[in-house]
Amino acid sequence: MTRIQLTLEQIAHGGEAIGRHEGKVIFVPFGIPGEQVEIEVAEDHRSYARGRILRVLRPAPERVDPPCPHFGTCGGCHFQHIAYEAQLRLKEAVVRDALRRIGKIEDPPVRPMIPSPDPFGYRNQVQFSVSADGHLGFQAMRSHRVIPITRCWIAHPMLQELYEALEIEGLPLRRLTLRCGVRTGDRMVIFETEGDEPPLLETDLRVSLVLLTQEEKAVPLIGLDYLTEEVDGFRFRISAPSFFQTNTAVAEALVRRVREWADLHGTEAVLDAYGGVGLFAAHLAPFARRVVLIEAHPAAAADALHNLSSFPHVEIRMGTVEEVAPGLEGPFDVVVVDPPRTGCSPEALEALRALRPARWIYVSCDPATLARDARRLIDAGYRLVEVQPFDMFPQTYHIETVSLFVRS
């Protein structure tokens, strides 16, 4: 193993610090820009290497003691060793860097990151895997090994209480998900078991128990097969398999920014592509003439239909954006897209562009695919007006952004 001393320069997308040695880029997990460290080279590739910190020779002033004893081995958190204020600055720089490097945007208009009101205890959903010896835990960093966990510091206290109250060891589980509505007090346990066998489990807590089969069918065992969460005064039904934003307080800030940038006056037609259970559509519908929501997942589309049933001018189209958007009758004034981490496919972007929206609001959970799609939108005649990062996932490298594009 080669030992090297180097000064760390920046954080890469993915959360590792970057330094350079003899012209080669070295990725250093758990380093902080500005620090001088001694590392051993753990992986040596042709164009880059990855090191493990042996000693921090000159620590950054932002270095703090991580509160969680699993930090460093658990794959869930990447930044507990960095003071929260500094996490915000570093993530903002990652967004700017991706837009410059991948999007070829010289001076990207990135605003300061909006923090999470709770840097810990914010997650309204946690998913546990099962270790080889049957314990619940999380996957280890850069490995498929499952490490047993007694407490997760980023899970909402409602979920921690639920986790401690459940006696789950010994059940034939494949995966276990805990979800809650932090504003409503609803809690849900979602089991995925070997052979879809419903587990026998009793609890005194007010909680729904749901079995999620391998075909993603939700079977209620106790209580309802959905929970309710409230965002900015609107209540959403969320079924066990449906996506919902992980950090409710930050989702509220996100919704407000989307509403502000949509700039609706009651006369516009809005397309909410990748609409989920209707989070954005519900907050835009009161100010629009027409709203169409596209969602591929049947459970989420059914939730959207239920959640938006009080708006006669909202249509739900179940299917992929690639399938549905080319058949839509426009025009649309505003398109909101919130794709998964992979971003929008070229087919989806092309079909949406053909609707010629004047405003395009792009909600993204991956700066790299945002940057790629931003370049495609700019080449298609849009101007990137502003990018607002939100810290939806404190202590991790994940970053949520909302970007506003306007037709030039």
74 belongs to the catalytic site: no
Rounded distance between C-alpha atoms, residue 185 and residue 158, angstroms: 8
Q: Which of 32, 296, 305, 352 binds ligand SAM (CB under 6 A)?
A: 296
When CB distances to ligand SAM are compared, the closest residue is 276
* DSSP states of 315-332: EEEES-HHHHGGG-----
Residues 6+ apart with CB under 8 A from 286: 311
The H or E element containing residue 361 is: strand 359-364
| Residue 155, number of CB atoms within 10 A of its CB | 23
Q: Which is nearer to ligand SAM, 81 or 123 (CB)?
A: 123
122 among the known binding-site residues? no
The H or E element containing residue 371 is: helix 367-379
Q: Which is nearer to ligand SAM, 30 or 405 (CB)?
A: 405
Question: Nearest approach, Cβ of 124 to ligand SAM (angstroms)?
Answer: 12
Rounded distance between C-alpha atoms, residue 328 and residue 352, angstroms: 9
274 among the known binding-site residues? yes
Size of the site for ligand SAM (CB under 6 A): 19
Q: In what order do the strands lie in the sheet with 359-364?
A: 314-318, 290-295, 269-273, 334-337, 359-364, 400-407, 382-390
Rounded distance between C-alpha atoms, residue 154 and residue 141, angstroms: 16
Q: Which is nearer to ligand SAM, 193 or 403 (CB)?
A: 403
Residues in 233-252 that interact with ligand SAM by CB under 6 A? 243-245
Residues in 330-369 that interact with ligand SAM by CB under 6 A? 338, 340
Tell me the per-residue interface mask from 253 to 292 with ligand SAM, x by CB under 6 A, - otherwise: ---------------------xxxx-xx------------
391 touches ligand SAM (CB under 6 A): no
Radius of gyration of the chain (CA): 22
Stretch that binds ligand SAM, among 114-122, 203-211, 258-266, 320-328 (CB under 6 A): 320-328
The H or E element containing residue 260 is: helix 248-262
Name the site residues for ligand SAM (rule: CB under 6 A): 243-245, 274-277, 279-280, 294-297, 300, 320-322, 338, 340
Q: Which residues are annotated as a binding site for S-adenosyl-L-methionine?
A: 245, 274, 295, 338
Enumerate the active-site residues.
365
